[in-house]
């Protein structure tokens, strides 16, 4: 940190070397101004009151309470006294259209314009009855709005005259009036905290912003980003209110730290490649420096890159090794994160995926199955990310962009990307808005810059008609960081699309053949249906490939699919294509018309993306090795400079490029000839009245039109001799036209030479006065180039500094996530314990009920057994008595049985049968079915 004490010379160096921001909160410099009262005394401090940056952000004006205005140049390390007004300043503005002029509001209610270089007063504008406390300059630099306590005035800075005056009631009062950037809208805020928007041309009220709920905030400070879509206001409280000017609604209320009591000034810091949509509230227009004025009147210069060292740091790894910890997926399965188990399970018998299918040793070792290492930047591990992907089906939305950047190992080559951007819009994509109209102009510009950078990187990307559709999903995701957007698309093209261009300009026959072979192995019926109706792979596979399936999937499904694609090798995307076709086989089998097939593969359809991804993994594991596409090694972009990409037929691309350039040169030549002929016609009309030359010129244009008609119809002529005759006639006519035009040119040159001789005297007089202006113009150009180089050098610093703050935010969020996991784990454990207790109680109750039932059944069976036993014994006794009586009768009758005896024997025969059944262990069936029911129940 440097300290500067202004001396009596009122000019000099700020420091002797290029400063580096100190570690003390980015403070670069302290500037104080003291004046000695007499010899040997310390003197008193002359307090600085106002500060204003120029449009470049490297120079700023500072005014003190004695009326001195100093110019500080941070790029040249110098300062100088540019004006002594003798009256303390109340407001400064240094962003006028003429870069050397500035406005200053003084305590005597006057408003003056001065020139920095000549130190002369340009204009004195009067109209305020109270001191001006704020000045707002229109984006074009022509108009200025000045605000005092009682009124606001609109000034024309070309004539320094007042155009409009805002009349308000004395009871209301006005806080601030200012222009919105890049628009003709004027915002006004009154002391009752009401905010209105006005049209600057007609001064008609457009709308009023809704008031914030709660106590009166007492607005004093306002700020908008460069795109003018937000408005931030602060004042006599520690709350910032953020409005959306597009929807005219209050977006959020930002609470400042408790030590902040009053907000006096608020500004937006622009970021690199943000398109003006700044998201940081923090004062240099370029976002490189901040100058603050302390209560003691000392200026403090801060370096924004040093202040933001912790902002751009990437977040820490999402997955950390925690011994014995487990995560639960959506379906209740647990996932182990123990490092020892993940590292040791590399044997063949342990290599099974979530579906129970075997995974080869090569794929287990290298993570993606392409020979790459599992180690990722920032300490992340591919295996752990794949475990999360298996358990949850997708990456967390909050960390998805960071995980993708880590999976692709983006080098973030700021210098190399800046060199591609500096080449401007590529000719191949100059008319992108005509072929691909996008509602958002900002998104269209980002897409055009990305495509142009790709075309400058490799010539093939200027010839692919489908490249905008391929790149658009990534552009929409990473539109706020064009460097990351370019590198993501370039990495996808270099790895997942590297074999697409071998048959250019035809579709990739080799890749489409791989898709067809996989489909033939797993679903022959669907492939035969395609063949029956002449539907080739260029109809059912190529639209899905070159759009990366963005046309047929919703945004959420597409992100979920590409979470898995980027975590696997390049062949997985082909399996996803086949899986999509197989999941849609029912509607596809009903299609018979080519138009129906084309419609289906170019519109979003109702397909379960989870089923598509699951089937893609199954296809990958069950497809034979001889038809699996080659496993290419993943190659990230090289650091420093981007690699060479030449995997395409160079002669075809060069030929098409040459033909396109030739056509463009012919168009330019034709336009130049038309322009030259028009200028020649105008000159001769001025000098000679324009008689013969006009007719000659028109005849030349007519002959040229005839030539174009002949050339255009050459392909329809069948006779070669007629073409040769016409060619000779054309050549003859062209030669005559050239001679005629040459004669007119010589005549015109004669007239022009005479006019030039007359102008030389006037030019000689102007030369003496024009040298000074030319010198100033060259100095301004050199200064602008220097500022551009400085801005480019700060890009890398801004990016690195943004990561630091992101790291802190992600670290705190990760700690919160881990705490939530721990809490959920304890809660689930308690639920499991309660479930076990409930189950044990239910089992005990069921056992008691079973015991009661068993005792009841045993009692019933015992009664049945006793009953059967008594009946059996009774029947046996009766049977024995009957037999005894029968034997006695037989003996008495000498073996002759009487009918009565036979009748008695027959009457007891059923009882005998019953006794035999009982002796065999069977239960007789009673008429009422009681015995049989008891048996069946038991």
Question: Quick one: three-class SS letters along 311-357?
Answer: EECCCCCCCCCCCCCEEECCCCCEEECCHHHHHHCCCHHHCECCCCC
Instruction: Dump pLDDT digits (tens) for 77-102.
Output: 888 999 999 889 999 998 888 888 99
At 44, give phi and psi (nearest 5°): -120, 155
Output the pLDDT for position 12: 62
Instruction: Give the residue-averaged pLDDT of 42-61.
Output: 83
In the predicted structure, residue 9 carries a pLDDT above the cut 60: no
In the predicted structure, residue 69 carries a pLDDT above the cut 90: yes
Would you say the C-alpha torsion 460, 464, 468, 471 has a positive or negative sign? negative
Instruction: Give the residue-averaged pLDDT of 646-662.
Output: 69
In the predicted structure, residue 226 carries a pLDDT above the cut 60: yes
Give residue 365's pLDDT band: very low, low, confident or very high (50, 70, 90): very low
User: Can you give the pTM of this predicted structure?
Assistant: 0.40
In the predicted structure, residue 443 carries a pLDDT above the cut 80: yes
Output the pLDDT for position 475: 92
- Residue 429 gets which letter from DSSP? G
State the pairing for strand pair 89-93/78-84. unpaired
Give residue 225's pLDDT band: very low, low, confident or very high (50, 70, 90): confident
For the chain, give the mean pLDDT: 75
- Provide the token pair at 3: 């300290």
High-pLDDT (> 70) share of the chain, % = 69
Instruction: Give 352's strand partners.
Output: 358
In the predicted structure, residue 477 carries a pLDDT above the cut 80: yes
Output the pLDDT for position 129: 87
Output the pLDDT for position 343: 35
* 294 vs 453: which has the higher pLDDT: 453
Question: Mind spelling out the 3-state secondary structure of 25-53?
Answer: CCEEEEEECEECCCCCCCCEECCEEEEEE
The whole-angstrom separation of Cα 351 and Cα 357 is 8
Give residue 280's pLDDT band: very low, low, confident or very high (50, 70, 90): very low
In the predicted structure, residue 151 carries a pLDDT above the cut 70: yes
Q: How many CB atoms lie within 10 A of CB 374?
A: 17
In the predicted structure, residue 703 carries a pLDDT above the cut 80: no
In the predicted structure, residue 2 carries a pLDDT above the cut 60: no
High-pLDDT (> 90) share of the chain, % = 15
- Residue 377 gets which letter from DSSP? G
In the predicted structure, residue 491 carries a pLDDT above the cut 90: yes
Instruction: Dump pLDDT digits (tens) for 450-465.
Output: 999 999 998 888 888 8
At 360, give phi and psi (nearest 5°): -60, 160
* 309 vs 473: which has the higher pLDDT: 473
Output the pLDDT for position 705: 45
Instruction: Dump pLDDT digits (tens) for 731-774.
Output: 667 666 676 676 666 666 666 666 666 666 566 665 655 566 67
All structural domains of the chain: 1-155+277-310 (2.40.128), 168-268 (2.120.10.30), 505-628 (1.10.472.80)
In the predicted structure, residue 700 carries a pLDDT above the cut 80: no
Output the pLDDT for position 448: 92
Instruction: Give the residue-averaged pLDDT of 819-844.
Output: 84
**Across 276-290, 329-343, 578-592, 879-893, which has the greatest mean pLDDT?**
578-592
Output the pLDDT for position 768: 56
Output the pLDDT for position 323: 40
Residue carrying the six token digits 């005014």: 63
Output the pLDDT for position 827: 80
Instruction: Dump pLDDT digits (tens) for 533-575.
Output: 988 988 999 999 989 999 899 999 999 999 999 988 888 899 9
In the predicted structure, residue 818 carries a pLDDT above the cut 60: yes
Range in 64-73, 169-178, 216-225 the model is least confident about: 169-178
CA angle, 753 then 754 then 759, to 5°: 90
Q: How far from 551 is each of 228, 310, 397, 445, 461, CA to CA, in Å?
A: 33, 39, 21, 21, 21
The whole-angstrom separation of Cα 417 and Cα 578 is 36
Give residue 13's pLDDT band: very low, low, confident or very high (50, 70, 90): low
Give residue 356's pLDDT band: very low, low, confident or very high (50, 70, 90): very low
* 928 vs 57: which has the higher pLDDT: 57
């Amino acid at each position: 940190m440097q300290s500067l004490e202004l001396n009596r010379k009122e000019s000099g160096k700020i420091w002797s070397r290029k400063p580096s921001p100190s570690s003390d909160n980015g403070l670069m410099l302290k500037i104080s101004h003291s004046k000695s009262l007499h010899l040997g005394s310390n003197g008193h401090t002359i307090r600085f009151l106002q500060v204003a940056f120029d449009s470049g952000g490297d120079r700023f004006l500072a005014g003190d309470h004695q009326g001195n205005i100093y110019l500080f140049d941070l790029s040249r390390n110098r300062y100088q006294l540019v004006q002594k007004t003798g009256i303390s300043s109340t407001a400064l503005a240094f962003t006028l259209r003429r870069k050397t002029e500035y406005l200053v509001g003084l305590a005597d209610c006057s408003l003056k314009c001065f020139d920095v270089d000549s130190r002369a007063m340009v204009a004195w504008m009067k109209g305020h009855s109270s001191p001006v406390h704020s000045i707002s300059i229109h984006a074009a630099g022509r108009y200025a709005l000045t605000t005092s306590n009682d009124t606001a005035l609109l000034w024309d800075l070309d004539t320094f005259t007042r155009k409009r005056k805002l009349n308000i009631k004395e009871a209301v009062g006005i806080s601030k009036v200012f222009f919105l950037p890049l628009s003709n809208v004027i915002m006004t805020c009154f002391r009752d905290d009401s905010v209105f928007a006005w049209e600057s041309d007609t001064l008609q009220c457009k709308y009023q912003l809704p008031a914030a709920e709660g106590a009166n905030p007492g607005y004093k400070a306002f700020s908008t980003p460069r795109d003018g879509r937000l408005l931030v206001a602060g004042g006599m409280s520690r709350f910032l209110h953020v409005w959306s000017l597009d929807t005219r609604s209050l977006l959020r209320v930002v609470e400042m730290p408790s030590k902040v009591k009053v907000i006096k000034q608020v500004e937006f810091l622009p970021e690199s490649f943000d398109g003006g949509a700044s998201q940081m509230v923090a004062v240099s227009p370029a976002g490189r420096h901040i100058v603050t004025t302390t209560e003691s009147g000392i200026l403090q210069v801060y370096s924004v890159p040093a202040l933001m060292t912790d902002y751009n740091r990437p977040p820490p790894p999402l997955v950390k090794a925690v011994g014995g910890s487990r995560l639960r997926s959506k379906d209740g399965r647990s996932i182990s994160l123990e490092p020892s188990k993940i590292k040791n399970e590399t044997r063949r018998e342990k290599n099974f995926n979530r579906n129970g299918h075997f995974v080869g040793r090569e794929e287990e070792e290298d993570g993606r199955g392409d020979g790459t290492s599992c180690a990722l930047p920032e300490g992340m591990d591919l295996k752990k990310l794949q475990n999360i992907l298996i358990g949850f089906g997708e990456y967390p939305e909050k960390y998805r962009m960071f995980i993708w950047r880590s999976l692709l190992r983006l080098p973030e080559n700021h210098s190399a990307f800046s060199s591609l951007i500096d080449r401007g819009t590529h000719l191949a994509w100059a008319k992108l808005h005509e072929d691909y109209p996008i509602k958002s102009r900002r998104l269209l510009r980002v897409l055009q810059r990305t495509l142009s950078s790709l075309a400058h990187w490799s010539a093939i990307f200027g010839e692919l008609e489908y490249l905008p559709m391929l790149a658009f999903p990534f552009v929409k995701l990473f539109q706020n960081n064009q460097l990351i957007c370019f590198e993501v698309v370039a990495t996808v093209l270099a790895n997942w699309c590297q074999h697409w261009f071998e048959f250019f300009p035809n579709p990739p026959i080799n890749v489409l053949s791989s898709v067809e072979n996989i489909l033939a192995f797993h679903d022959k019926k669907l492939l035969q249906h395609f063949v029956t109706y002449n539907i080739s792979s260029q109809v059912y596979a190529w639209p899905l490939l070159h759009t990366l399936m963005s046309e047929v999937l919703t945004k959420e499904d597409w992100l979920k699919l590409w979470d898995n694609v980027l975590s696997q090798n390049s062949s997985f995307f082909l399996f996803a294509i086949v899986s999509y076709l197989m999941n849609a086989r029912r509607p596809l089998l009903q299609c018979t018309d080519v138009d129906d097939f084309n419609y289906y593969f170019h519109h979003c359809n109702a397909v379960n993306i989870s089923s598509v991804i699951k089937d893609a993994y199954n296809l990958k594991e069950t497809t034979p090795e001889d038809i699996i596409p080659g496993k290419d090694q993943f190659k990230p972009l090289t650091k420093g400079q981007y690699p060479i990409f030449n995997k395409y037929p160079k002669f075809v691309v060069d030929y098409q490029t040459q033909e396109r350039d030739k056509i463009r040169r012919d168009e330019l030549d034709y336009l130049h000839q038309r322009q030259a002929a028009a200028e020649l016609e105008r000159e001769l009309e001025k000098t000679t009245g324009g008689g013969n030359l006009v007719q000659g010129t028109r005849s030349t244009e007519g002959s040229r039109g005839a030539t174009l008609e002949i050339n255009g119809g050459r392909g329809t002529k069948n006779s070669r001799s007629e073409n040769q005759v016409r060619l000779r006639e054309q050549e003859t006519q062209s030669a005559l036209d050239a001679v005629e035009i040459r004669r007119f040119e010589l005549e015109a040159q004669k007239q022009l030479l005479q006019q030039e001789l007359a102008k030389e005297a006037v030019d000689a007089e102007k030369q003496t006065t024009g040298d000074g202006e030319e010198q100033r113009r060259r100095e301004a150009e050199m200064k602008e180039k220097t500022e551009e180089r400085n801005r480019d050098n700060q890009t890398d610093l801004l990016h690195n500094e943004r990561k630091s703050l992101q790291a802190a935010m992600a670290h705190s969020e990760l700690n919160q996530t881990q705490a939530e996991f721990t809490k959920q784990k304890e809660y689930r454990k308690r639920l499991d314990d309660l479930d076990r207790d409930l189950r044990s109680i239910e089992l005990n109750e069921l056992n008691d009920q079973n015991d009661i039932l068993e005792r009841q059944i045993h009692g019933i069976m015992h009664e049945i057994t006793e009953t059967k036993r008594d009946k059996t014994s009774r029947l046996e006794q009766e049977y024995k008595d009957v037999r005894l009586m029968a034997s006695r009768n037989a003996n008495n009758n000498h073996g002759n049985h009487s009918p009565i005896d036979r009748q008695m024997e027959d009457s007891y025969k059923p009882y005998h049968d019953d006794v035999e059944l009982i002796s065999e262990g069977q239960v007789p069936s009673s008429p009422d079915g009681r015995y049989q029911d008891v048996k069946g129940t038991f």
